[in-house]
Chain A
């Protein structure tokens, strides 16, 4: 539940932008004059500034919300630590040792003051710096995300374009039905299935990354299955989106017009139709990267990869507020930046669609 918090609140704006609206798509793309390019940059700058400001406010709101929600959860770090030995005196002692006996607003203010100096605070449970939690777990998460993305982009676009080119024919129907089927399989089920077949039955790949922890890169074979599972659904959604966008664009009057003028088919497809299909795909891609970075809990648990999702899950169970807060900040900032980046790219691709903030 908390995983979504970092994302959804801040994500709203980016997702809503009307880059793929029919009005925009029906217009042929024209090279902009020098004058309009200049205007573009100026309005682009203020757009970025406004979005960053908004993003900062959104991140702040997310952090406050996460704090309030964590406080609202039953029990605190002392209760969680005491576990099934809930001797009230011991809980009180733990609470005092953790400084939890101070009022919540005071603790929040302290934390915020530290945050302004770039100090994320220390974990209630272990006393170690929160930054260490985040940097340790960021490596595996980033590695998985980068690998997945590196494969996702060519695969997703490739399949989408392939299907669109052969619209209605066998290739299209094959790609469409397979992607739909794979998309319908939940991550966990797919993971278990792949492990059982590829790792346990055929023994081609290691079933988990247990014990590799910090040196994941030294065991590339252990990364194959997690990346496959992470890849499965995004490839499907992305390729279907690209296909739909391209099919729409190819059927539009301006594509027909271009063809009538004798513009070669390939150029109509890749210079005219594809960019229009790309805009929504980029937005989708941003959301996928956001998901990859802000906690892929199922895959991490299934393959024993100690990334950010695992840290978040543990921190919530332990009511380790500073760690949860630190992660909320990181997730919030990531989400804002990713969506902003995606909007800018989409804006570049289809300036007339008006990616207004």
Chain B
């Protein structure tokens, strides 16, 4: 029962993106097609109260946006607060509270100009609020999630150069600095807002104002008529917490809520044709992978890694572990995102070549332990399927099921092979967090000086096309001999009642338009 909550997901800042990003850009320009029927049918109507159900954190929940950890936290945080930037559907940073940004020649000083916006108490959003918020996140005494993302910024040297301009001084050239501004949990709060304020009377600059909050139960917000991007259509939004997936579905079918986040593929299939509710699939949201530790036997031999790439029947994994709700992967993170190396050929199962490679590597009759856990949907199923696929290539896999509450910490340094998943984040963030020598969560133990150098080169390259070429080189290397066997990208599934209009269908979890309620309206 508890698995349904996907603790791994709820605990993490979940970033997900769609493969249809490029398509979206085109669709967006041409002004809507069938795909976006939901968001374009009819004129938005003002008024009404929408109730949205999420899996939540129980009695420990907080409205402190910097402590956001779960989907429900983020959905509430983005209703009350803004970030300087946020991710578009292709995971590129889009300006939000920041009106524009301009780097110096060496890319280590950035001038950020804020737009004219006010907090809910009428005070303007100023450069001082921005610096206060970032310094609060980076407080060495605390462990806020966004702290790691803000690491490139030298906050002592950064300063306000005007009421609405900030000069950020960076520790090193960072071409993707806008990604930092869009980082998970990097919300702007008013200067001097402290811990206790957030749960009693949170003041932000977001599209909704605070009304009430009962941790683990419900949060009610109402329209902010002065929102800088235009007032929301809804009068009120209520976030309710229902951890059990079946409870969210039942509440939706019974008309107790209008929006249910995170449904199972089987639920989606059952109701897609039923016509009682609308199913929204946020495509290619969560990366699904097996993670090979490249610093230890047997995966320190790149022929063994390649053999494993060839063992995987990706379609079978997708159908079996995710009930087909997703798309196959090509051993690269970020399908459809900005800088994704889409030109590489799709890898297919090739057991003969896998066997030959294993033989060459002297790894016949190989025996490996695959760590998995019920921490995320489809993990244990994927492990079982892969075990059977590997058996066909003469590899014996022992599946070991571990604790779901400590899974991510357990697999970081231990074992050789494990199930892995990740929400959407920019490809650059995936590289820096997981694939550099000093990365904090380098689960594949991918440590190569030349690879680090390429990353630095990309970050010092001002021209976007040149930068893309460097990213392509890095991805090509990972495709050939990396430690991530990325077999699929899961859909993120949302259910709404027929009355709900304006739900963005091309918005991976944790991008700007995901769980965004200021553009939603009730017919």
> Could you tell me which A residues sit within 8 Å of B by CB distance?
73-75, 79-91, 93-94, 97, 123, 125-128, 133, 136-137, 188, 192, 195, 199-200, 203, 206-208, 210-211, 213-214, 297-298, 301-304, 306, 310-311, 313-315, 317-320
Q: Give Cα A301–Cα B2 distance, bound, in whole angstroms.
A: 9
Please pick, from A75, A91, A211, A301, the residue contacting B405 in the complex, using a CB distance under 8 A. A75
**Contact present for A210 and B251 (CB under 8 Å):** yes
With a cutoff of 8 Å between Cβ atoms, the chain A residues found around residue B13 in the complex are 85
Q: How far in angstroms is the closest Cβ of chain A from B436?
A: 13
Known: A73-B403, A74-B405, A317-B7. A86 touches B412 (CB 8 A): yes
With a cutoff of 8 Å between Cβ atoms, the chain B residues found around residue A88 in the complex are 412, 440
Question: Known pairs A123-B59, A203-B254, A214-B214. 10 more at Cβ < 8 A?
Answer: A75-B409, A84-B421, A85-B12, A210-B53, A210-B240, A210-B257, A303-B247, A304-B241, A304-B243, A310-B216
Q: Give Cα A317–Cα B3 distance, bound, in whole angstroms.
A: 11
With a cutoff of 8 Å between Cβ atoms, the chain A residues found around residue B303 in the complex are none
Known: A84-B12, A214-B214, A301-B244. A207 touches B253 (CB 8 A): yes
> What are 20 inter-chain pairs, A to B, with CB distance below 8 A?
A75-B405, A79-B405, A80-B405, A82-B408, A84-B12, A94-B143, A125-B60, A136-B59, A137-B59, A200-B254, A207-B253, A208-B250, A210-B247, A211-B240, A301-B1, A310-B216, A313-B58, A314-B59, A314-B216, A318-B60
With a cutoff of 8 Å between Cβ atoms, the chain B residues found around residue A311 in the complex are 58-59
**Contact present for B217 and A84 (CB under 8 Å):** no
Q: Give Cα A247–Cα B250 distance, bound, in whole angstroms.
A: 44
Q: How far in angstroms is the closest Cβ of chain A from B64?
A: 10
Please pick, from A75, A213, A214, A320, the residue contacting B406 in the complex, using a CB distance under 8 A. A75
Known: A126-B60, A207-B253, A314-B58. A83 touches B408 (CB 8 A): yes
**Contact present for B250 and A207 (CB under 8 Å):** yes
**Contact present for B11 and A313 (CB under 8 Å):** no
Q: How far in angstroms is the closest Cβ of chain A from B433?
A: 8
**Contact present for A79 and B406 (CB under 8 Å):** yes
Q: How far in angstroms is the closest Cβ of chain A from B13?
A: 8
Q: Is B215 an interface residue (CB 8 A)?
A: yes
Q: Is B86 an interface residue (CB 8 A)?
A: no
Q: Give Cα A93–Cα B140 distance, bound, in whole angstroms.
A: 8
With a cutoff of 8 Å between Cβ atoms, the chain B residues found around residue A127 in the complex are 195
Q: Is B62 an interface residue (CB 8 A)?
A: yes
Nearest A-chain residue to B148, judged by Cβ: A87
**Contact present for B405 and A86 (CB under 8 Å):** no
**Contact present for B214 and A80 (CB under 8 Å):** no
Q: Give Cα A157–Cα B370 distance, bound, in whole angstroms.
A: 55
Q: Is B491 an interface residue (CB 8 A)?
A: no
Please pick, from B61, B69, B403, B441, the residue contacting A74 in the complex, using a CB distance under 8 A. B403
**Contact present for A304 and B251 (CB under 8 Å):** yes
Q: How far in angstroms is the closest Cβ of chain B from A63?
A: 20
Q: Is B483 an interface residue (CB 8 A)?
A: no
**Contact present for A195 and B59 (CB under 8 Å):** no
Please pick, from B69, B195, B218, B410, the residue contacting A83 in the complex, using a CB distance under 8 A. B69
Q: How far in angstroms is the closest Cβ of chain B from A121?
A: 14
Q: How far in angstroms is the closest Cβ of chain B from A264?
A: 52
Nearest A-chain residue to B5, judged by Cβ: A317
Please pick, from A85, A93, A207, the residue contacting B251 in the complex, using a CB distance under 8 A. A207
Known: A75-B405, A81-B11. A211 touches B254 (CB 8 A): no
Scan B392-421; emit 1 where CB is below 8 A from any A CB, else 0.
Answer: 000000000011011111101000000001
Q: Is B256 an interface residue (CB 8 A)?
A: yes
With a cutoff of 8 Å between Cβ atoms, the chain B residues found around residue A310 in the complex are 58, 216, 243
With a cutoff of 8 Å between Cβ atoms, the chain A residues found around residue B406 in the complex are 74-75, 79-80
Q: Give Cα A342–Cα B486 distance, bound, in whole angstroms.
A: 59
Q: Give Cα A81–Cα B57 distance, bound, in whole angstroms.
A: 11
**Contact present for A314 and B8 (CB under 8 Å):** no
